[in-house]
Amino acid sequence: MRFYEFTILKEAEARIQHAEDIVFWEGSQGAVRAVESLKKLEQGGHKDVTIKWDGSPAIIFGRNADGEFTFTDKSGFVKKGGVERATSGDDLEQFLLNRGGGANRDKPDRIEFASQMKQAFDLYEKAFPKNHIGFFKGDLLYYTTPPTQDNKFVFTPNIVTYYVDTGSDIGKRISQSQSGVVIHRQIDEQGNESAINIDANTFFEGNDVLVFPPVTVSKAPRVIDSEVNNLKVLISKHARNLDDLLNKEALVQLKLTAFSDILYKYVNQKVDTGLDNLGSDFTSWLATSKVSKPMQERIIKYITEHKAGFQALWAVVVGIQKVKNDIINQFDNHDSDIKASIGNTPGGEGYVLAHPQGDIKLVNRGGFTAANRAVQR
């Protein structure tokens, strides 16, 4: 059997993919990669799974070419002309208060946010080496040392509340810190991102800023063989149909290069109304989407001509999602020094599985994603 070669779009490369979404860009081979990766988690692969922290706000900090320290939120860094790349705590506070024409400057939550960011500026400037040029992008986890409850540090940076055992290695480091952050990428002054190539444990100075290290899950999950085998049979049976549907060369010729990204957006927006019956209401969703009318017509014609592949696609997505969510539920309920919950429901943002062909996101879209999208910001 001949398989088409698939290359991932730049939009997809910029984000870690949900396990069930990989098929959109990689076709049947991506579906197989996702299924096999999930299966391997019970065979030692869980050691490559780390907690995905739910931090907020997203920040960028570091030193510019002149050695000046800059600390701001992500919005401030990308402002045209770098006008909100604050080089002092006072500047940062005023930028945040005056954003949007100052419409929110008198609101208590905006005043508190601006004040907290101002205080964080000084901590991070002190911790950042004076001879290093460049920036880091990350998410704040706490502005001040978290309070304790039942021998656990408790903090809620966004919608997930974390409980960290005070006697654990990371708990002891939290006790010495004043602010916590998880960093994701290095970034230059033009906004170009790259992988982190420093040891965060030794790079930053002092203990005031704790850069959270990767935290791996402690126990392998049980993966139901029958569900995995059924998925493998399904993918093998419909590999040709899936690859015909998602053939990049054909999509380019038909001016449907955004097809995979539209499928992704459809699933994400289905989170708001429920993930039941994925695929069955795609055409009605498409009619109300921002996709242009001419492209809508081309898409409807295309999926009609590839009906078998389109139906198989959603069967594969739903099957992978089911296996993934069961694994997440097990991880969330394993004994650990770090526990997370959203309200009274156990579980956090999810996990990231390291993979040489591209990391895989393990997030319960009906849990964390739905709760996060429902928050009014």
Angle at 138 between CA 135 and CA 142, to 5 degrees: 125
Q: State both tokens at 207.
A: 């203990």
CB-based contact 286:300 (threshold 8 Å): yes
Same domain? For 119 and 251 the reply is no
Same domain? For 122 and 178 the reply is yes
CB-based contact 286:267 (threshold 8 Å): no
Same domain? For 64 and 192 the reply is yes
What is the per-residue pLDDT across 101-112, written as a single tens digit (0 to 9) for each?
Answer: 888 899 999 999
Q: State both tokens at 113.
A: 């946010």
75 has pLDDT over 80 = yes
**Domain housing 183:** 58-211
Residue 1: inside a domain, yes or no? no
What average pLDDT does this structure show over 21-46? 96
Burial class (CB in 10 A: 0-12, 13-18, 19+), 261: middle
Same domain? For 144 and 263 the reply is no
Q: What is the pLDDT of residue 10?
A: 36
Residue 80: inside a domain, yes or no? yes
Q: What is the pLDDT of residue 376?
A: 52
Residue 98: inside a domain, yes or no? yes
128 closest CA partner among 196, 41, 70? 70
Which residue, 186, 211, 236, sits at the end of a domain? 211
Q: How far is CA 254 from CA 24, 89, 135, 306, 354, in A?
A: 17, 52, 41, 14, 35
What is the per-residue pLDDT across 271-294, written as a single tens digit (0 to 9) for each?
Answer: 888 888 999 999 999 999 999 999
Residue found by looking up tokens 């539920």 in the block: 329
Mean pLDDT, the chain, rounded, equals 91
Same domain? For 133 and 111 the reply is yes
Same domain? For 146 and 174 the reply is yes
Q: Find the length of the chain.
A: 377
Residue 32: inside a domain, yes or no? yes
Could you say which DSSP state residue 187 is in? E
What is the per-residue pLDDT across 5-31, written as a single tens digit (0 to 9) for each?
Answer: 333 333 344 578 999 999 999 999 999
CB-based contact 323:234 (threshold 8 Å): no
- pLDDT above 90 covers a percentage of the chain that reads 77
Residue 42: inside a domain, yes or no? yes
Which residue, 211, 243, 258, sits at the end of a domain? 211
Same domain? For 47 and 62 the reply is no
Same domain? For 67 and 128 the reply is yes
Same domain? For 198 and 235 the reply is no
Residue 39: inside a domain, yes or no? yes
- For the whole model, what pTM was predicted? 0.86
Residue 5: inside a domain, yes or no? no
Total number of domains constituting the chain = 2
**Dihedral, CA atoms, 286, 291, 292, 293, nearest 10 degrees?**
0
CA-CA distance, 331 to 321, in Å (whole number)? Answer: 15
Which residue, 167, 192, 211, sits at the end of a domain? 211
Residue 2: inside a domain, yes or no? no
Same domain? For 72 and 36 the reply is no
Task: Please tell me which of 300-309, 330-339, 364-373 the model is most confident about, judged by mean pLDDT.
Answer: 300-309
pLDDT-derived band at 1 (thresholds 50, 70, 90) equals very low
What average pLDDT does this structure show over 50-54? 94
Q: What is the pLDDT of residue 78?
A: 85
Same domain? For 227 and 311 the reply is yes
121 has pLDDT over 60 = yes
Same domain? For 308 and 370 the reply is yes
Q: State both tokens at 269.
A: 């927006």
